[in-house]
Amino acid sequence: MKRHNELSRRRFVGGMLKAALLAATAPNFIPLRVLAGENTPSKKIQLGHIGTGNQGTNDLRNFLTVDSAASVALCDPFRQRREAAAQFVRDRQKLEPKLYNDFRELLADKSVDAVVIATPDHWHVPIGLAAVRAGKDVYIEKPLGHSLEQNQAMLAAVKKHDRVFQYGTQQRSQEMLKRGVELVLNGYIGDLQRLEVWAPAGQGGGSLDEIPLPDGLDYELYLGPAPMKPCTKDRITRKGSYFCSDYSLGFIAGWGAHPLDIAIWGMDSDTKGPVSFRGAGNFPTPNGLFNTCATWDVEIKFSDGIPMHFMSTNHAKPIVQKYRTDVQGADAKFFDNGTTFFGSKGWVSLSRDGSCASNPTWFKLHQCEGTKRVLYHDRYYKAFVDSVRERSPSIAPIQDALRSDALSHLSLMAIKTGGEVIWDPKKYEIESPKELNGQMTCPVRGNWKQV
């Protein structure tokens, strides 16, 4: 025992000296894994934030409330955005973050343990791939990829490099939604028979008139893998990233990701075999800047026979109001997003704004009877930090992100073709029409290799 104790003391002192030497020569922050191993409870996870626009700043503010993390680096091709975000870090954490224009420089920063990616959609996977290959864990905003091929590549990279991935679907930390999903999983509604899922509609419009490049914007880096197009006042705004097909699929994915994620949380029909899609949609300004699908009405049928009706809010409202009594009447607010599970014994309807059931007493139960429980954390952003520290499963894993995102991509394909699209989730390919497999990728500009 004496020999063991001497060795332990020597290792301890040696480790402390090594840490001190590193501290004297390293940047302001030292990665957790360098200091004392990934599971050290006393060290903060050091975060880099890539994309500091509207959603990126929202994410930053939330991560700044997590005491076990420090936001040490910020990146955005808009100089003014990253500088404004830096002030939040100074005010909250009393430290000076490193500022980067190019995400590749941030990813080369050894002091960063994990990154939060909140860029326009077309950048999510390309930056995500670069991040996990650089050894970073990733929190990626929804939707996932600009193509099905990107999504598959992201899954493979996360597995290969053994990285933590958390999807930006924050409702998985809403306790009432967790309760509702567990009601479904434990058979309170009986056997699941069908689902209705809806999300806010998009919009058309957007100026195509070219403007001079704004001061402080690295336009080449902003576009990245997207086509080079003239800069317009709407192209470089939040709506431009939402509704222009150069950067996104539109709200069918950008907002649809949330209620579809709830559906995936509560069922696994999409994993059992081929899934069929039929639908129609409206593109109000197909030749304009905002040229994505604005409204949609899609029928999805899973291999076990369970159907899903996936709609934009305008289509859903007259259907949902027939059974959701909490949204009846002139003064009632209709929840513009939601997921309803219908079963042989009743239904449960869940949204980020409010939930109800055919039996209202179900939601009075703090915990339903039954053994099926979902992985849950009441603080979504802390959940990611905890997973990074503990190397524990994410509450919004990439496997679920792929499943929900595929429903958006394939719904849009069915709308565009005007016929039936059949998807084989096990082979990760389109069974019919076969030629659509050529549309599982998207064009890449220049040297911005994506997969």
For 13-48, give one letter per residue: b (16+ CB within 10 A) or e.
eeeeeeeeeeeeeeeebbbbeebbeeeeeebbbbbb
CA 215 to chain centre: 30
How much is the average pLDDT of 391-418?
98
Q: Is the pLDDT of residue 169 over 60?
A: yes
Q: Is the pLDDT of residue 325 over 90?
A: no
Per-residue pLDDT at 31? 43
Q: Is the pLDDT of residue 104 over 70?
A: yes
Per-residue pLDDT at 188? 98
CA separation for the pair 338, 353 (Å, rounded): 9
pTM of structure: 0.89
Q: Is the pLDDT of residue 99 over 90?
A: yes
Reported as a pLDDT band with limits 50, 70 and 90, residue 327 is low
Per-residue pLDDT at 367? 87
Reported as a pLDDT band with limits 50, 70 and 90, residue 332 is low
339 near 351, Cβ under 8 Å? Answer: yes
Nearest-5° angle of CA 30, CA 32, CA 34?
Answer: 70
Q: Is the pLDDT of residue 450 over 70?
A: no
Q: Is the pLDDT of residue 91 over 60?
A: yes
Per-residue pLDDT at 335? 83
Give the number of residues written for the chain: 451
The type of residue at 430 is: I
Q: 360-380, pLDDT tens digit by residue?
A: 999 998 889 999 999 999 999
Average confidence score pLDDT of the chain:
90
Q: 240-265, pLDDT tens digit by residue?
A: 999 999 999 999 999 999 999 999 99
The type of residue at 329 is: G
How much is the average pLDDT of 369-395?
97
Q: 129-148, pLDDT tens digit by residue?
A: 999 999 999 999 999 999 99
Better-predicted residue by pLDDT, 25 or 284? 284
